[in-house]
Structure 1
Amino acid sequence: MQGIVAIVSTLTSDEKQEFVLQLRRKNRRTDTKNEKLFKLIDVGKTEDLDIQLYGKPARNSFHALCKRLQDSLIDFVASKSFAGETSEELEILKLLLASRIFFEKKLNKLAFKTLENAERMAIPLDLYSILNEIYHTKIQYAHLNTNWILEEIIETSKKNMKLFQQDFHLNRAYAVIKSRLKNTEHSSVSNIIQTTFSEFHIEISDTLTYKSLFQLMELTATAAKAQIDFYAISPFMLELYDIVDKKSSLKSKHRFYHLSILNLLAITQFRNKKFAVSMQFTKEMEQEMQKENNLFYKRFAEKLATLKALNYNYTGEHAKALTILEDFKSDSLDLKLLIAMCLFQQGNFSESYQIIKNLRHTDTWYEKKMGWVWVVKKNLIEILLLTELDKLDLVLVRLQQFKRRFSRLLQNKGEKRVLTFVKLISRYYENPKQVTTEKFKDEVENSFEWIGKEQEDIFVMSFYAWLKSKMEEADLYEVTLELVGQKST
């Protein structure tokens, strides 16, 4: 049952409709209940489903129905994948299989041509495992083709095997890096990657596949997000992108990975306040999304809207940012929090608070779904909104809840500055007038260890901007733009 819920949550509206049509085509009887079960789960109903479907408790029948529906969903997802991103890989495998059948049937001339076509298609796609099979087949039947030189095929096979082993080692290193980042949260991302690569004898070079480059970028960006340190990873990300750029002739073959890479680069540059560079990657991403008849547009539409809105908001064009966010109809929690933040920066506290109030799940639920960083940001925004709306009784409750829930976590993550910030909010809550005094300003100055304006994360600076605006009795948005090196337009 949980598996079905998880799969359904990943499907788009169009994919859900397509799946229902597929169910109808497969159902031989008109009274089958798989479609009804799917629709009930899709609208969030998960209690007493056997009674709703059968009119009485029917555990065994319901369990069997769930098993059939889950199998159908897995088959649907797999079929969609094969029909899309991996079509060329499947085509090459078909050619390889066909060539072997032709050899068995003594159609050698046709087999040679088919196998060579498979090899020609696989080389630019870096399909080392398939190429291993192709060279194995060529070696097996080399004695039948006077144009094939066995020694050359063996040598090519050896070179490919080295690349295949490197890809295999990289995949192992990827798993090790993920584990180490999880268990050693204060270590430098780049140091962990370099150490692990050294252990596995892996070099950053243009022999890395598109998929491997994306995996490395995604891993690095995820670690940077958890450590709130995008400055440290920027050189490494750009180094990887230089390799991607050298493979530009292959980007149409790896459109999904290429779009994902552009998205990660745009995010990294934004978090480092390199807005022009971030927007350039965003524009390139949008252009790529429009290719192949907008094949990947829906899949990346939310990421595109987020990038545009963030860059506009932090370069003084807040109206454009809000228009993009509000026009993008979505239940995305990231977008909801982003809208709340933008409204908050513009002083629309009641409207912003209404969005936060409508996030009705527990923090534990949100942490499982979105991660602890998202939950901390949500709680901080809520506390600031309650402070601005003079809901002082709720402020005290939320401050106590925040300290109780997040103090140990933030200390373990090395984010004591957040706790310091919360302490200063408490001080403001107790006596708002004191924040404009020189004594309070000195206390703030001595409370934070800033790593430098260029290196500091943009979202960390955004929260500090609220405190600074209170100390200077200035407009929050203007102070925010000043801190990130921009001016309002």
Structure 2
Amino acid sequence: MINLKEILETFTKENQQEFILYLEKKNKRKDAKNIQLVRLLLSDNFSSTEISQKLYGKQNKVALHALRKRLFKSLIDFTANLSMREENSIDIQLIKYILSARNFLKKGQIKIGYQILDKTENIANEHQLYTILNEIYHTKIEYAHLNKTLNFNNLISTFNDNQKQLIIEDNINIACAKIRISLAEYQQKKSKEDIKTLIENVLKEQNIIISDSLSFKSLYQIIQITSISSAQKFDYWNIEKFLVDTYAIIKHHTSKDKQLYYHIEVLYLIANVLFRSKKFTESKKYLALMYFYMNEKKQKYYSDFAPNYHLLLSLNYNYHNQQEKAIELLEPYLTKKNVDLVSQLDILLSLIVYYYQNESLEKAKNLLATFYHTDNWYIDKAGIVWTIKKNLIEILLHIDLGNIDLVDSRLISFKRNYFKHLSEINQERVISYLKLIEIYYKKPEIATTIEFYNRVEKSFNWINRNNEDIFLMSFYAWLKAKMTKQNIYFVTLNLINN
């Protein structure tokens, strides 16, 4: 049975109210019980027996089942209409054109129908929307016998060419799905398979060759999946060349102006990888390109990308000894509205780190206090990696603030909730790190001893500074600052830049 309560709870409060108004307009009978059912589902976890009793004053499984089916159909209609209304993409507009053309063709208005299809085809070609083009050609072929001016052979040739492009896009989707499945298996089974090699093999299996014959969207998908693979192992340095070389193909692509959104996404991904590899100058070069394209087409996508652009630029500033600029860039977001939730959470957590490194502990504590949701809520919204970082920062901050009771409870909670997951994804060094933190917390005077230094050295498999992830180095900097009795920000910059 489909869980109607789960569907309703995915709506915002405004959408829930809008759905009730939608039902009120739709209801032809005054005694319809669909609105009552919605309110019961949203108000509490009532069982089917309890709901039946409240709606009918008795048990009536047949009537309740029928009511649930009708409500589900209304939910589907409402969500479809909502998506169509909120989605202003070219794809949706062209689908509307195709439906309109088919309507005219069914009524015998062949000339008008084909004129609409021709216009739709031109726009779809500009944006390389092969699935939409397939629908256009399918419709043209279906009504070809009624159009005496149509060159049927040319139409079939164009249709076949489009089919080839459609197959390439399908192969890329399959490849991305295979890679994502492999990444999940890597996490679950501690697979030692090299992710980069896996990506190359999957692309070869699907006969995908990176060239300017691919659409901009397809190239973006390949870059994105490669970036995700590095996030699993924190080896961003390993994909730098691949990303830069791939962008060399993308930047000359014939559709780069038509697929501006994906172009900006690609620039952001490259800038982020370069930042994580501590190549700040190169990262800022791609951010400058990103900013340029954000301002194209009358800033069509500026507001979509501004939070992530400002965040990544501020991170480059912060780790390149320009912390004041980093803070100034992000503080306006403390009062900004209508910012994407994930971007907002990333910005707030980064500001907490900046304040902490700046020894503004009260500011960091007050901002951290705004994270009042449960860990499960943050995992759902921002992901488990973000939630683990948030919890680690919280533990370190409470140690420095001397909040002993809070430190104890946070340590116990972290071990219970995340040690198993960290082991499953081959991140035992985070577990080792927390154990060292706990040793220091319980006996801070040990931090400057040779014994503790040797323990730290043995706890990690150290890798080349150039290859280590910048955020992992930042956490280690806190520990080293305790060992050397130096300022955290100074130690962080020293570790990263020397």
Decide: shared fold, TM above 0.5. Answer: yes
Q: How far off is 1:272 after superposition?
A: 1.8
Choose which of 245, 263, 274 in structure 1 pairs with 2:268. Answer: 263
Aligned letter for 1:162?
K
CA–CA separation in structure 2 for the residues paired with 1:367 and 1:439 = 37
Contact 1:125 1:250 in 2 (8 A): no
The verdict on how the C-alpha distance between 1:219 and 1:106 changes in structure 2, with shifts beyond 3 A counting, is: closer
Choose which of 366, 381, 384 in structure 1 pairs with 2:393. Answer: 381
1:200 maps onto 2:230 in alignment? no
Which SS does the other structure have where 2:465 is aligned?
Answer: coil
Q: How far off is 1:189 after superposition?
A: 2.8
CA–CA separation in structure 1 for the residues paired with 2:279 and 2:38 = 45
Contact 1:349 1:385 in 2 (8 A): yes
Contact 1:367 1:374 in 2 (8 A): yes
The verdict on how the C-alpha distance between 1:68 and 1:130 changes in structure 2, with shifts beyond 3 A counting, is: closer
Contact 1:273 1:484 in 2 (8 A): yes
Choose which of 170, 174, 177 in structure 2 pairs with 1:175. Answer: 177
Choose which of 8, 13, 18 in structure 1 pairs with 2:12. Answer: 8
The within-5 A match list for 1:145-156 is 148=151, 150=153, 154-156=156-158
The within-5 A match list for 1:4-403 is 4-8=8-12, 46-47=43-44, 57-58=54-55, 70-71=75-76, 73-86=78-91, 89-90=94-95, 93=98, 97=102, 107=111, 117-132=119-134, 137=140, 141=144, 148=151, 150=153, 154-185=156-187, 186-247=192-253, 249-251=255-257, 253-315=258-320, 316-318=322-324, 319-329=327-337, 332-403=344-415
Q: How far off is 1:387 after superposition?
A: 1.2
Contact 1:305 1:324 in 2 (8 A): no
Contact 2:398 2:406 in 1 (8 A): yes
Aligned residue in 2 for 1:468: 480
The verdict on how the C-alpha distance between 1:5 and 1:239 changes in structure 2, with shifts beyond 3 A counting, is: farther
Q: Between Structure 1 and Structure 2, how many residues are aligned?
A: 468
CA–CA separation in structure 2 for the residues paired with 1:229 and 1:354 = 33
CA–CA separation in structure 1 for the residues paired with 2:151 and 2:481 = 75
Contact 2:277 2:466 in 1 (8 A): yes
Contact 1:345 1:476 in 2 (8 A): yes
| C-alpha RMSD over aligned residues | 4.2
Q: How far off is 1:383 after superposition?
A: 1.3
Q: How far off is 1:184 after superposition?
A: 1.9
Aligned letter for 2:253?
K
Q: How far off is 1:456 after superposition?
A: 0.9
Aligned residue in 1 for 2:423: 411
Choose which of 445, 469, 475 in structure 2 pairs with 1:433. Answer: 445
Runs (5+) with no aligned partner, structure 2: 47-52, 57-63
Aligned letter for 2:402?
D
Contact 1:410 1:416 in 2 (8 A): yes
Contact 1:313 1:320 in 2 (8 A): no
CA–CA separation in structure 2 for the residues paired with 1:344 and 1:321 = 17
CA–CA separation in structure 1 for the residues paired with 2:296 and 2:40 = 36
The one-character-per-residue Cα deviations of 1:188-246 (angstroms, maximum 9, x if unpaired) are 33222112122222222222223322323333333332332322232333333233212
Aligned letter for 2:236?
F
Q: How far off is 1:403 after superposition?
A: 2.7
**Worse overlay, 214-223 or 66-75:** 66-75
Identity across aligned pairs (percent)?
30
Aligned residue in 1 for 2:61: none
The one-character-per-residue Cα deviations of 1:101-137 (angstroms, maximum 9, x if unpaired) are 69x6575xx7877665554433332233344455564
The one-character-per-residue Cα deviations of 1:381-410 (angstroms, maximum 9, x if unpaired) are 111112111223433333333233322221
CA–CA separation in structure 2 for the residues paired with 1:175 and 1:398 = 37
Q: How far off is 1:465 after superposition?
A: 0.8
Q: How far off is 1:75 after superposition?
A: 3.4
Choose which of 459, 462, 467 in structure 1 pairs with 2:471. Answer: 459
CA–CA separation in structure 1 for the residues paired with 2:16 and 2:146 = 54
The verdict on how the C-alpha distance between 1:106 and 1:277 changes in structure 2, with shifts beyond 3 A counting, is: same
Q: How far off is 1:459 after superposition?
A: 0.6
1:483 maps onto 2:487 in alignment? no
Runs (5+) with no aligned partner, structure 1: 50-55
CA–CA separation in structure 2 for the residues paired with 1:247 and 1:88 = 24
Aligned letter for 1:313?
N
The one-character-per-residue Cα deviations of 1:291-340 (angstroms, maximum 9, x if unpaired) are 44544344334323322332222222343244344354556333332222
The verdict on how the C-alpha distance between 1:323 and 1:292 changes in structure 2, with shifts beyond 3 A counting, is: same
CA–CA separation in structure 2 for the residues paired with 1:89 and 1:293 = 22
CA–CA separation in structure 2 for the residues paired with 1:37 and 1:314 = 54
Q: How far off is 1:63 after superposition?
A: 6.4
* TM value normalised by structure 2: 0.77
Which SS does the other structure have where 2:238 is aligned?
Answer: coil
Contact 2:278 2:470 in 1 (8 A): yes
Which SS does the other structure have where 1:484 is aligned?
Answer: helix
CA–CA separation in structure 1 for the residues paired with 2:464 and 2:116 = 60
CA–CA separation in structure 2 for the residues paired with 1:39 and 1:355 = 36
* TM value normalised by structure 1: 0.79
CA–CA separation in structure 2 for the residues paired with 1:303 and 1:23 = 36
**Worse overlay, 221-230 or 166-175:** 221-230
Q: How far off is 1:436 after superposition?
A: 2.0
The verdict on how the C-alpha distance between 1:6 and 1:147 changes in structure 2, with shifts beyond 3 A counting, is: closer
Contact 1:99 1:115 in 2 (8 A): no
The verdict on how the C-alpha distance between 1:307 and 1:40 changes in structure 2, with shifts beyond 3 A counting, is: farther
Aligned residue in 2 for 1:444: 456
Which SS does the other structure have where 2:236 is aligned?
Answer: coil
CA–CA separation in structure 1 for the residues paired with 2:150 and 2:37 = 60
Contact 2:126 2:255 in 1 (8 A): no
